[in-house]
Amino acid sequence: MSKNISENTMGKIKLTILRVIVYAILIFLTFLCLFFFYLMIINATRSNAQLATGFSLLPKENFFVNLKNAWNDASINIPRGMLNSLIIALSAAILTTYFSALTAYGVHVYDFKGKRFVFTFIMAVMMIPAQVSALGFVQLMTKMNLLNSYIPLIIPSIAAPVVFFYMKQYMESVLPLDIIGAARVDGSSEFRTFNTIVLPIMKPALAVQMIFSFVSSWNNYFVPALLLDKAEMKTVPIMIAQLRSADYSKFDMGKVYMFILLAILPVLIVYIFLSKSIIKGVTAGSVKG
């Protein structure tokens, strides 16, 4: 009897130690994430000369000076750049999530010849990095007279294998085929079934991929830098790079940090609005029912 009690006690002690270790790791990772964000805010309050002196944990008095200098910089147009990035990122996020969910719906619900091949092909495309096809893509856009246009940055985002894969896995977890069959018996068309029945069920997954797609498109520098060269068409990442590459006489690191802080505000706003759905989507999509 005493042996069983001691074994139970030892088991509880080991479980407690394991929990302490897990929480310690999570606290450490949280600290790392928040620390660098805090450091960016602090640097946005410091002047270029103060930043040159080194590291600081305390804010300075140059926040509004940096904001004014960045906002009124003659070489860039921050409001226009943020509007450009917002148009591209929001459009790409909506199209990516909707059409990826629609594709996943077709592969998940329908049984057709070549279904396994289609799924394998889409997964194989996911392995190809964007840099491999960049040169051919730019040449194609040049022939189609689509340089300095947002179309090449929005429409191709419809084909998103990673988002498709997540949507399909989520559908397998939460979408029983009996619901689709019942809708068909009631005379509902496929698009109506998808838009009015499937999409509401997929709302957490849509929120997850919406924020991920939005952030990916918002932070995208490589492709826009190849396609956009007009000042009024440039996006936020291009403008940040432009500020950082300024000559020494015009270089102001405080202004750069301020612009970076302004650039992440839309991402934070989107996350705040979708945070509840994101948590639901991650937890529900990770466990197959």
Is 281 part of any domain?
yes
Does 157 lie in the same domain as 32?
A: no
Is 60 part of any domain?
no
Q: Name the pTM for this structure.
A: 0.81
Is 50 part of any domain?
no
Does 9 lie in the same domain as 104?
A: no
**4 conformational bin, left if phi > 0, alpha if psi -120 to 50, beta if neither:** alpha
Does 208 lie in the same domain as 168?
A: yes
The number of domains in the chain is: 2
Query: pLDDT for 214-232, tens place per residue?
Result: 988 998 888 898 898 888 8
Provide the pLDDT for residue 24: 94
Is 56 part of any domain?
no
Burial annotation 152-162 (CB, 10 A radius, 16+ → b, else e): bbbebbeebbb
Is 189 part of any domain?
yes
Amino acid at site 225:
A
Domain that holds residue 23: 2-44
Burial annotation 74-83 (CB, 10 A radius, 16+ → b, else e): eebbbeebbe
Contact assessment for residue 107 and residue 175, using Cβ atoms and an 8 Å cutoff: no
Does 208 lie in the same domain as 88?
A: yes
| pLDDT-derived band at 55, boundaries 50, 70, 90 | confident
Does 97 lie in the same domain as 234?
A: yes
What is each CA distance from 205 to 98, 226, 244, 266, in whole angstroms?
Answer: 11, 32, 37, 20
Does 88 lie in the same domain as 23?
A: no
Percent of the chain with pLDDT over 70: 90
> What is the average per-residue pLDDT within 154-175?
88
Provide the pLDDT for residue 282: 54
Does 94 lie in the same domain as 21?
A: no
**What is the rounded distance in angstroms from the CA atom of residue 26 to the CA atom of residue 32?**
10
What is each CA distance from 179 to 146, 183, 189, 210, 287, in whole angstroms?
Answer: 43, 6, 13, 25, 20
Q: Which tokens belong to 229?
A: 């060269």
Does 238 lie in the same domain as 97?
A: yes
Residue 32 has pLDDT above 90, yes or no: no
Does 272 lie in the same domain as 139?
A: yes
Cβ count near 24 (within 10 Å):
10
Does 124 lie in the same domain as 248?
A: yes
